[in-house]
């Protein structure tokens, strides 16, 4: 397997290099040179394969022998160790629950798989690898949990003091072992600047093997394609077309769905659902891609003003607006529409959906209203509603069940190193500890 940069299709890197570098030097994004179709026999018989079998088959065809079968199996078994069930709301509406992992959001799939891949490629290297991550809340928790107790790898998560939710802070600061949280007196941008500066610092990089766990790492995208097959497999077998509706921010999830379709999954249509940060729906309408500063919304994990995977989608769509708008529909909704959808889903189906999933329901309904025939619509439920407890309880006017693994967190002790936002203190701390 080789990967190119969306900015230069002439030079290639290995999977290992793409995983450790995260981003190409030219600031493009890594893409697989080929996304092969899976064998028909496999696609026709998904029902007889486990979620892990599906992951194995996808990777085997994509990686083309880079990782021996036995190793690949154990990477997948370690990374994908929780289910992705489909819940039926009605005959045309299904919800794919992606929140059964440790941080209760779909990002666990990507973070865990990336951790396994890095650990695999790091084997035999006896220099410890130190991963630096800056987080505004969500990603850090998934990455920290993904790398928890991974041999040979230490993780340092930087987060802005007082600017992440109580629960998010607990997810970052209570793991211990190989995970260290740094509470920075500053903003998320300060955290990101500290990480960037560390990579540029020759003293540090001479003595410490540093890497990043960037959200655009190709190793985070690949496992997100597995669950489109897994969802398809759970739908009733009939001839109606299947559409996937994806609540989107940076469009990693949606891009992974496009990978699944290229690999042969018979998806009739992808639908992008966004909140007020409607850059992609606007692009589908006008043909002009206009990033803008993000605005805060109820579905805050989708508050993105310049979606980082746009370049990957553009590349997959053959770099034309025409293909783009053929293969992708896009709709955007306000917070008040989102709240109404959450209440409607609860009153009609007694199903508690989180604000991100509710944006997806709205988009599916709009698409269905215009469609001529009956379809099977699958909405990706990207996080557990208990992650947004105060909002969800206020909107639904009732208590919401909190999963045990979340409730337990509240009891655990916070452990964090507190630092200023100046690079000097961070550098000193890194040098003294690694």
Ligand X SMILES: *Cc1c(COP(=O)(O)O)cnc(C)c1O
- Binding residues for ligand X, rule: CB under 6 A, are 105, 107, 138, 247-253, 301-302, 356, 382-383
On the 0-12 / 13-18 / 19+ scale of CB atoms within 10 A, 43 is middle
Smallest distance, ligand X to C-beta of residue 98, A: 9
The values of phi and psi at residue 192, to 5°, are -65, -40
Q: Which DSSP string corresponds to 165-193?
A: -HHHHHHHHS--TTEEEEEEES-HHHHHH
Smallest distance, ligand X to C-beta of residue 359, A: 9
The values of phi and psi at residue 273, to 5°, are -115, 125
CB 19 within 8 A of CB 219: yes
Strand 129-134 with 209-212, pairing? parallel
Which residue intervals of 279-372 are DSSP H helices? 279-286, 310-316, 321-327, 335-349, 355-370
3-state secondary structure of 383: strand
Using the minimum distance from each CB to ligand X, give the nearer residue, 37 or 405: 405
Using the minimum distance from each CB to ligand X, give the nearer residue, 121 or 251: 251
Structure tokens at 18: 């793409």
Using the minimum distance from each CB to ligand X, give the nearer residue, 61 or 356: 356
Using the minimum distance from each CB to ligand X, give the nearer residue, 67 or 254: 254
**Closest residue by Cα to residue 32 from 62, 64, 67:** 62
Smallest distance, ligand X to C-beta of residue 246, A: 7
3-state secondary structure of 376: strand
Smallest distance, ligand X to C-beta of residue 183, A: 22
DSSP state, 142?
H
How many CA atoms lie within 13 Å of 84's alpha carbon, on the beta-carbon side? 32
Q: Is 107 a catalytic residue?
A: yes
Smallest distance, ligand X to C-beta of residue 194, A: 22
From the candidates 7, 60, 107, 233, give the one annotated as an active-site residue. 107
The values of phi and psi at residue 278, to 5°, are -105, 35
Which residue intervals of 188-278 are DSSP H helices? 188-200, 202-207, 218-234, 252-262
CB 381 within 8 A of CB 360: yes
Smallest distance, ligand X to C-beta of residue 107, A: 5
Q: CB neighbours of 272 closer than 8 A, spacing ≥ 6?
A: 246, 248, 251, 254, 280, 281, 284, 328, 329, 330, 331, 363
Smallest distance, ligand X to C-beta of residue 305, A: 12
Residue for token digits 């630092």? 419
- What is the C-alpha to C-alpha distance for residues 374 and 243, in angstroms, rounded to an integer? 11
Using the minimum distance from each CB to ligand X, give the nearer residue, 210 or 364: 364
Using the minimum distance from each CB to ligand X, give the nearer residue, 102 or 129: 102
Dihedral of the CA atoms 210, 213, 215, 217 (nearest 10)? 80
Smallest distance, ligand X to C-beta of residue 250, A: 3
Catalytic residue set: 107
């Amino acid at each position: 397997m080789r990967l190119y940069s969306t900015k230069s299709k002439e030079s290639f890197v290995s999977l290992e290099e793409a995983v450790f570098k995260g981003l190409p030097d030219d600031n493009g994004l890594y893409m697989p040179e080929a996304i092969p179709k899976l064998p028909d026999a496999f696609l026709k018989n998904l029902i007889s394969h486990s979620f892990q079998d599906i992951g194995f088959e996808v990777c085997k065809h994509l990686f083309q022998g880079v990782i021996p079968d036995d190793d690949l199996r154990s990477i997948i078994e370690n990374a994908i160790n929780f289910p992705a069930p489909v819940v039926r709301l009605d005959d045309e509406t299904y919800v794919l629950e992606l929140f059964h992992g440790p941080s209760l959001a779909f990002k666990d799939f990507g973070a865990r798989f990336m951790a396994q891949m890095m650990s695999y490629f790091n084997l035999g290297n006896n220099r410890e690898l130190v991963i630096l991550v800056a987080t505004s809340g969500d990603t850090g928790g998934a990455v920290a949990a993904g790398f928890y107790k991974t041999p040979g790898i230490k993780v340092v998560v930087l987060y802005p003091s007082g600017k992440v939710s109580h629960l998010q802070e607990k997810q970052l600061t209570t793991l211990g072992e190989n995970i260290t949280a740094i509470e920075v007196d500053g903003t998320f941008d300060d955290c990101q600047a500290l990480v960037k500066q560390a990579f540029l610092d020759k003293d540090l990089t001479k003595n410490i093997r540093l890497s990043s766990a960037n959200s655009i790492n190709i190793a985070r995208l690949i496992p997100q394609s597995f669950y489109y097959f897994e969802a398809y497999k759970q739908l009733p077998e009939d001839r109606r077309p299947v559409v996937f509706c994806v609540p989107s921010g940076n469009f990693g999830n949606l891009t992974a769905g496009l990978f699944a379709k290229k690999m042969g999954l018979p998806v009739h249509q992808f639908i992008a659902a966004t909140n007020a940060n409607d850059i992609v729906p606007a692009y589908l309408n006008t043909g002009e891609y206009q990033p803008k500063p993000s605005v805060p919304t109820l579905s805050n994990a989708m508050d993105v003003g310049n979606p980082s995977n746009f370049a990957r989608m553009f590349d997959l769509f053959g770099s034309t607006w025409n293909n783009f708008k053929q293969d992708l529909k896009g709709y955007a909704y306000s917070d008040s529409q989102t709240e109404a959808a959450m209440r409607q889903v609860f009153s009609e189906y007694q199903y508690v959906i989180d604000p991100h999933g509710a944006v997806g329901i709205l988009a599916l309904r709009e698409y269905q209203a215009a469609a001529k025939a009956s379809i099977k619509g699958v909405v990706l439920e990207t996080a557990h509603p208990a992650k947004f407890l105060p909002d969800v309880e206020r909107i639904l006017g009732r208590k919401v069940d909190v999963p045990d693994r979340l409730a337990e967190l509240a009891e655990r002790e916070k452990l964090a190193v507190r630092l200023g936002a100046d690079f000097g203190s961070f550098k000193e701390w890194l040098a003294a500890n690694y």
